[in-house]
Amino acid sequence: MTNQNNVANRQVMCEVLIAEAKKNPDILVLTSDSRGSASLTDFATMLSDQLIETGIAEQNIVSISAGLAHMGKRPFVASPACFLSMRSIEQIKVDVAYSNKNVKLVGISGGVSYGALGMSHHSLQDIAVTRAIPNLQVLLPADRFETEKMFSILATSDAPAYIRLGRNPVEDCYSSLDYEFEIGKAVTMIEGQDLTFVASGEAVRQAILAAELLKEKGISARVLNYHSIKPFDETTLKKAALETKRIISVEEHSIHGGLGAAVAENLSEQLDCVHKIVGLPDESLVTGTSAELFAHYGLDGSSLADLACSMVL
């Protein structure tokens, strides 16, 4: 794997898929004029017989992949999350999930990765809609290490899945691959007793930064990485709620229907726990880089630390 501490998850996805596809010719990659955006150019060069280009036809690409899966192939679809999750949602629901076809749907440049392009290119509802579809896993890796572990498992898994990846380089959350990873099981990144951050995807790094800032102020913050929105680890969440009494959920998604909603649903009977949802508001967002949008809407480490202080002190 690429030996850097700041690398885009999509690049690692390509490296894993090349390695796995060399071992298994049934692994196919489908792109919708998106091999460059998905960092899959090397895959196309090295394994051209295992890549299918459909052009800008997101509904078709999902149905084609379902047909390939029906014939015993193991397709990975890489397409911009904003289009894949919205334009193709009926095909995802019926052709993939309801038909139980082994298709891995990779929404690239998710969240506000395309920040400067505005609402048409933001994918802030993809988690809400996909997690409401039965028989579909919903996954968001935090960094390159988790991306490698996740895609290595997905290469041999038979479960339909939607995986969201960002576009930009991500600072490491882990120091190595030496940790236990299981789909459906949250990872405790930092132990803490005063409150808990529950984060997913690229927001995990910001939660870690917030916990580090809080430690300097004598506040002990737990950080849970929910790389798996569905299946959802209810046990780890309820344990944190019981032990810390305060939860801040953090996500690069609308405040409606995503990780925050999943946390609220699971804590609905936990009356002695305060829960704050930090996400993107129910409005058309301002434009800017991902970092600028994170800071503007309070998803950056400093803003999260300030919110935590207001809950604890």
Please confirm whether the linkage preceding 231 is cis (ω < 30° from 0).
yes
Is the pLDDT confidence value at 3 over 70?
no
Q: Do 163 and 191 sit in the same domain of this protein?
A: no
More confident of the two residues 271 and 155: 155
Taking residues 108-113, what's their average pLDDT? 95
Crossing angle for the helix pair 144-154 and 9-23, to the nearest 10 degrees: 30
User: What's the CATH code of the domain at 288?
Assistant: 3.40.50.920
Among 109, 136, 171, the domain-final residue is 171
Whole-number percent of the chain with pLDDT over 70: 99
Give the distance from CA 173 to its chain's centroid.
Answer: 14
Residue pointed to by tokens 């790389």: 227
- Spatial distance between the Cα atoms of 301 and 309, rounded to a whole number of angstroms: 12
pLDDT at 6: 81
pLDDT at 271: 76
Is the pLDDT confidence value at 184 over 70?
yes
Is the pLDDT confidence value at 270 over 90?
no
Q: Do 153 and 56 sit in the same domain of this protein?
A: yes
**Neighbouring-strand partners of residue 170:** 7
Is the pLDDT confidence value at 98 over 50?
yes
Confirm if 267 and 239 have CB atoms less than 8 A apart.
no
Is the pLDDT confidence value at 31 over 60?
yes
Average pLDDT of every residue of the chain? 95
pLDDT at 5: 74
pLDDT grade, residue 269 (50/70/90)? confident
Helices within the chain (DSSP H only)? 9-23, 41-46, 58-70, 81-87, 89-91, 126-131, 144-154, 203-216, 234-244, 259-266, 290-296, 301-312
Q: What is the count of structural domains for the chain? A: 2
pLDDT at 2: 45
pLDDT grade, residue 118 (50/70/90)? confident
Q: Which two tokens stand for residue 229?
A: 């929105």
Confirm if 80 and 111 have CB atoms less than 8 A apart.
no
**∠ CA(292), CA(298), CA(301), 5° rounding?**
85
SS3 99: coil
Is the pLDDT confidence value at 220 over 70?
yes
Residue 66, in any domain of the structure: yes
pLDDT at 4: 59
Confirm if 169 and 8 have CB atoms less than 8 A apart.
yes
Q: Which amino acid is at 190?
A: I
Q: Which domain holds residue 90?
A: 6-171
pLDDT at 1: 45
Q: pLDDT tens digit string along 191-218? A: 999 999 999 999 999 999 999 999 999 9
User: What's the CATH code of the domain at 145?
Assistant: 3.40.50.970
- Spatial distance between the Cα atoms of 177 and 166, rounded to a whole number of angstroms: 20
More confident of the two residues 119 and 101: 101
Q: Do 109 and 223 sit in the same domain of this protein?
A: no
Give just the sign of the alpha carbon dihedral 187, 297, 110, 268. Answer: positive
- Spatial distance between the Cα atoms of 43 and 35, rounded to a whole number of angstroms: 9
Q: Could you give the count of Cα atoms lying within 13 Å of 150 in the half-sphere of its Cβ? A: 31
Q: Do 196 and 270 sit in the same domain of this protein?
A: yes
Taking residues 142-171, what's their average pLDDT? 96
Taking residues 152-158, what's their average pLDDT? 98
Among 197, 178, 81, residue whose Cα is nearest residue 138? 81
